[in-house]
Amino acid sequence: MKNDNCKNKTTKQLKSNLAVIKAITGSLIFILIILLSVTLYGMATKEDNGTFVALFIVGISCGATLPLQFMLMKKIKFELKSRGLNL
């Protein structure tokens, strides 16, 4: 999301985008914690752990999207703060 894209949106749109991004990020964190927990348990207890290693790699690579979500939330919060709104 570009900075000028934030400036072109209304305050209502920014607030709704922020709420959606927070919900998506929270659910992604929850799902990743479960996935990584199950795969670590599977790797530690099972003999044939090829599937668990693959799932572990998928979980780690999906976690790479989290910093992008946090940066996007920060941009939206900064834009709302620059408009004089406190969250």
Whether 47 contacts 30, CB under 8 Å: no
DSSP character at residue 9: S
Name the band, by pLDDT with cuts 50, 70 and 90, for residue 3. low
Does residue 4 carry a pLDDT above 90? no
Query: Residue 86: its pLDDT value, please?
Result: 67
Query: Residue 87: its pLDDT value, please?
Result: 64
pTM value? Answer: 0.81
Name the band, by pLDDT with cuts 50, 70 and 90, for residue 50. confident
